[in-house]
Chain A
């Protein structure tokens, strides 16, 4: 099967950017030459059709220019005023939210802190770590039983 121009090579031909190998192939291959010509014609028609579809009357372009100019030259003072009003509303709303929002009970934190301090103090006073307290109780029980059996 003969090797024909790839899409990449065909694009380069259509853009006038083909290398010498692709140019030589096109000169020697009737099938590729025919395909190239067909695509060139279709793309030329496509360009012409796109241009035709975009044709508008001068009044259309004038109206469009007027709309564009209106868009950028609207009253800037009014626009600035609108922005300032919007910014002021946001600030006011934020201030109201801060004022109205319920504040957390301060003593709750203080209570929690106090309870923690008491617990730490208790732990410090303990002779034994909390984990060894069951063992200590058992030892006390054993020694008490021993006292009872030795002094009936």
Chain B
């Protein structure tokens, strides 16, 4: 069996083997980095947390029981790490300040070349950037758990069931968090364009 297939397979009651781990990192590192970037919005921190995520997974590989996929298990570890990081954001701020790094702002606002349609008219690009800025701002107002649910569903495009498994929540709770996040987003959009035709809820 190919290592990747072994790595992705649930190995009930066996844990994960040391020799599979390099392949697990190769298969999941980009997704974990992306999830963490969406959650902490700091490229340096996302890189560090990605490494920490795989180290934690490696240390607890024996306790992996295959109740979820390896990908879901890793996302759960990443979400917990991001929550810890967001709680300690003040410390991170001081570390960045002393290090003189500014990369924390690298993903604060989407650059023009990151927009999905760089060939669109300048006016259309401006609107798209403002809308995306509204999404980022709305995400910033959410609790770590709501933010994680929003990022997993709408940035990672995981299903409601996958999000629920990764977060150890009921699907109904995931929907409630998403509704709260969507409410925050609609309010931000209304602030940015008060005359837009948002229907009253």
Assess the B182–A47 pair: CB atoms within 8 A. Answer: no
For the complex, give the distance between the alpha carbons of A69 and B25 in Å. 9
Chain A proximity mask over B113-141: 1 for CB below 8 Å, otherwise 0: 11110000000000010011011000000
Bound-complex Cα distance A42 to B133 (A): 10
Beyond A47-B155, A50-B38, whether A8 also contacts B22 by CB under 8 A is no
Contact A51–B200 (Cβ < 8 Å): no
Q: A122 interface residue, CB < 8 Å from B? A: no
Secondary structure at the B interface, as helix, strand, loop or mixed, is helix
Asked if A145 is an interface residue, CB under 8 A from chain B, the answer is: no
Given contacts A8-B176, A46-B132, A56-B33, contact A71 B200 (CB under 8 A): no
Are B51 and A50 in contact (CB-based, < 8 A)?
no
Interface size class of A (residues with CB under 8 A): 35 or more
Query: For the complex, is B94 an interface residue (Cβ under 8 Å from A)?
Result: no
Contact among A32, A49, A51 with B115 in the assembled complex (CB-CB below 8 Å): A49
Within 8 A of A (CB), among B138-193: 151, 153-157, 159-160, 175-176, 178-180, 182-183, 185-186, 189
Chain B residues positioned under 8 Å from A11 (CB to CB): 175, 178-179, 182
Contact B179–A8 (Cβ < 8 Å): yes
For B38, the chain A residues whose CB sits under 8 A away are 50, 54
Residue of B nearest to A8 (CB): B179
Q: In this assembly, does B8 line the interface, its C-beta being within 8 Å of a C-beta of chain A?
A: no
Q: Does B58 sit at the interface, judged by CB under 8 A?
A: yes
**Is B65 an interface position by the 8 A CB rule?**
no
- Measured in the bound complex, the distance between the Cα atoms of B200 and A35 in whole Å is 10
Q: Is A141 an interface residue (CB 8 A)?
A: no
Given A46-B132, A69-B22, verify A4-B199 contact (CB < 8 Å).
Answer: yes
- Cβ 8 A contact of B110, one of A7, A17, A53: A53
Could you say which of B51, B160, B178 contacts A71, with CB atoms under 8 Å apart?
B51
Establish whether residues B34 and A72, one from each chain, have CB atoms under 8 Å apart when the complex forms.
Answer: no
**Which residue from chain B places its CB closest to the CB of A17 in the assembled complex?**
B160
Beta-carbon nearest neighbor of A61 in chain B: B29
| Given A64-B29, A65-B22, A68-B25, A49 contacting B132 (CB threshold 8 A) | yes
Q: Given known contacts A8-B175, A43-B135, A61-B29, what 5 new A-B pairs fall within 8 Å (CB)?
A: A47-B154, A50-B155, A64-B51, A68-B51, A72-B54
Taking beta carbons and an 8 Å cutoff, which residues of A are in contact with B? 1-2, 4-8, 10-12, 14-15, 17, 29, 31-32, 34-35, 39, 42-54, 56, 61, 64-65, 67-69, 71-72
